[in-house]
A and B are shown apart, each in its own frame.
Chain A
């Protein structure tokens, strides 16, 4: 008889596969949902950050005018030459000017002093947006009388009120209002350099601006409609560039602000992506267990005539469906979380953020969620093709092997490719994307290895003499189909983030504190005029403060390198010289000896120039030499406030910048700059904060133009900045830990049947409820403790490496924060675990069997 070959050509029958996927999911939906719940948080984090990014971009576009406050801003670090000033004055009729500089202010009522950014303003700036003040009228009132607007953090810090007086230089100003916000200002700016606005007309009387003072000159323009600010900006660019002036337009502000915030959102996206990856490993692990339970059903279907591909597709459809659902929920949650982000990132933002729903972000998040849950689910899913119908009769002697399918290698490859593509999309740089992908893989591998290692150690070190409850609690981590490893990795990673954060915070604070310990300097007095130099020194000595350094400083600009001007070098795309070397103002000193924070690493130190015709050999810091792409013997031409001085690089210095003292990119020999306009810096050491405060008060009263930075101010500022960054990192770490805890909840529920059987068995053997509760609590304690230990161990290693190689500081971790993290993570794991096991723990065995099985 001929064989009817048509029976082998049956179609896939997609509608039926969809129907089967739907039918099969009916009894498993809550479990399937649990699987994807681990990706919900990752997707939520991504969608929140994407939405935030999109909204931020739109807001920057919409608010760029208020960010700049004008159509065009020209800025300079020196008084523009008369011809240039003429051009500046001719650019528009509606204009304002501002001179800003660092100076001390003195709160008369409580005698407090603080280094601030004084902004002397003339004109109606800002033309877009406003100086936001309390009371609102203050932003106009202060302009025409001897009044000031004082930054709100300063007001709080010195407990000052509107109407109080402050002294700036020789002049007192009444506080007209509290400055809440100025165009382009962020919370961070106000921490680092809190602003005080005064009317420009009183600047001269303060006596603070003298020859050689470091003042920033800014000119704000508002053009009539029809004037193309961009075109105008292009037209004047060559001239301003040549004179070393900068300009900003609304378009360039948009671009620059957008770029820096793109970096921030990129960083956050990558952290959220790591949380998502962790969730996906959770999904893969849960689906693996799910598919093991499905072996019998698939074998029956194979018996009844289903093709391997059809069986595979039924479950694939389920995963896609549930991945889609999880992603949609994640996207909805992310849209809500987005509303919290401005609170988290508020201090970094110069603009008001709107919180519109971003469909682009939701679309990206959902697509990403589906793809990634599918990719990770494929790992256990490809093995479905190998399930033999023989499993219906008994488990095949050649057991279903979930681990050795060669297609799994292809899936692993696809996952790595996906991570690489995603990071490439974020970073737009192949090398960084490869580093990130490699870093993530290495990170996971190290976490896994540490987790394995700890479990191995623990297993070996639990003595038989320990009570049964302890041994059973630990042994439970090894129950069949356990998800211990993924839980250790995900909770461990979150712990590692948080504990690294604490360590790094400690390292930075320690480094600054240590740098000023012993007899090292801890106070720098600057802006001392030449005629004040000896008097300030005398005052310091009268207060028993040592004169550790007295340093003259001359400001200058770089004109040429080896005869080529900045304009030529910027135009030459092959020149490996950073353009900023021509834009910045250099503060240079001159001396005949090296100081103890520097040493010559190449060339020869020449400390003096004996005759005017001698070559001037300067010494440059090695990192600056890298930016110049310079070698010994290269010629640099400096412009010292109009006078051109040709020099030759005589030596490179390695400089320890981590000290509370002056250090310089460029050091001139003695005999060249003595007659140039200059100011002086005095470096000293104060024994206590009280002495520091007393000395600063006296100094500001006598020499109001002299500014002071001391260790306390640096530490306070550093602490505040780190606090703000820490908040962001903790927020992201919370996503990782929460993902781990969701995986834990899923894992507890997935293994519920097994746990019920164990519990019933133990009860039958005579265990009481308390003993079972203790075993379960111990199991979760071991889990949480091992995960936390994994994270802390890793963070100790990472922080040590950071301290050693990046911060070049000693690493003396304090035990408090990691111990607290350890306790919190362990207890949280126990609490979540017990909460989800309560139905197994509190009911009678028979009741459990009736209701749960």
Chain B
């Protein structure tokens, strides 16, 4: 299988109070196309920073990120935006729907950005898959948290991404809604054959992926394939 994400000697430092603060140091891993991988770790371990770097939302201080064979470090912010639009999907803990657009419009945005035409039906199909076709004209404020995250899922898959980054996708949801959203996420992912990179500190959720990369203090503490029996019931919370 081809590599979709290749991280080499990745490091990220911030300047804070006049001092250099190393958030990530010497991170190396790669992810094959179609795989489902979790990045887990306690709060402040650097996992969200790592997700941001992998998805091209931020620029590394050292090392390299190659996504779909494109070296992101060499690209400008606008070029990285184009890469995200073409190859990347996102799901956020706090849904991040555009509050001024309806559910349908939120799903259509990535496709519209590409300049694609006649996309309304595609978007409606996706909303149908997440069970919200009948709410397509509602604004985010008129939807519940679970519904918002389902719209967010539809949007994430609308541009047929090669890789999907999910940042604590069920972190703001109750248990019952979480289960529904998780199921939808994995089903859609399987149908589309998309690579999934999941950042979470919920080890139950992580156990549903094939591989878990543990981050601790800005380093990779472990990188192993999942044996779900060992993980069940654990959490970093």
Binding site for B on A (CB under 8 A): 1, 3-4, 7-8, 10-11, 13, 16, 19, 23-28, 296-297, 299-309, 388-390, 392-394, 397-398
Contacts and interface: CB of A to CB of B under 8 A. Distances in A.
Contacts of B97: 300
Contacts of B16: 397
Contacts of A308: 77-78, 81
20 contacts: A10-B82, A11-B115, A16-B112, A23-B105, A27-B99, A27-B100, A27-B139, A300-B98, A304-B84, A305-B81, A305-B82, A305-B113, A306-B85, A306-B113, A388-B57, A388-B58, A389-B81, A390-B52, A393-B167, A397-B14
A393 B92 contact: yes
A648 B109 CA distance: 89
B119 to A, nearest CB: 11
B90 interface: yes
A16 B105 CA distance: 12
A307 B81 contact: yes
Interface in B69-109: 69-70, 77-79, 81-86, 90, 92, 96-101, 105, 109
B96 A392 contact: yes
A8 to B, nearest CB: 5
Interface in B4-30: 14, 16
A770 to B, nearest CB: 33
A303 B101 contact: no
Of residues B85, B155, B159, which shows the largest number of chain A Cβ atoms within 10 Å of its Cβ? B85
B62 interface: no
A169 B103 CA distance: 92
A305 B85 CA distance: 4
Interface in B106-133: 109-110, 112-115
B51 interface: yes
A420 to B, nearest CB: 35
A390 B105 contact: no
Of residues A303, A308, A394, which shows the largest number of chain B Cβ atoms within 10 Å of its Cβ? A303
B94 to A, nearest CB: 9
A301 B90 CA distance: 11
B113 A392 contact: no
Interface of B: 14, 16, 48, 51-52, 55, 57-58, 69-70, 77-79, 81-86, 90, 92, 96-101, 105, 109-110, 112-115, 139, 155, 159, 167
Given A3-B69, A8-B79, A304 B85 contact: yes
Contacts, number: 99
A11 B82 CA distance: 11
B52 to A, nearest CB: 5
Contacts of B52: 390, 393
Given A3-B69, A305-B84, A394-B48, A13 B96 contact: no
Nearest to B58: A390
Given A308-B77, A390-B58, A297 B99 contact: yes
Nearest to B75: A8
Contact of A307 (B51, B78, B109, B159): B78
Given A7-B82, A304-B113, A305-B86, A26 B100 contact: yes
- In order of increasing CB-CB distance, the 6 nearest A-B pairs are A305-B85, A1-B69, A27-B100, A389-B57, A24-B100, A307-B78
Nearest to A19: B112
A410 B51 CA distance: 36
A305 B113 CA distance: 7
A393 B57 contact: yes
B81 A306 contact: yes
A28 B98 CA distance: 13
A297 B98 contact: yes
A392 B83 CA distance: 17
B114 A392 contact: no
Given A26-B100, A27-B139, A297-B99, A393 B48 contact: yes
A299 B92 CA distance: 12
B153 to A, nearest CB: 14
A388 to B, nearest CB: 7
A19 B105 CA distance: 11
Contacts of A388: 57-58, 77
A578 to B, nearest CB: 64
Nearest to A385: B77
B155 to A, nearest CB: 8
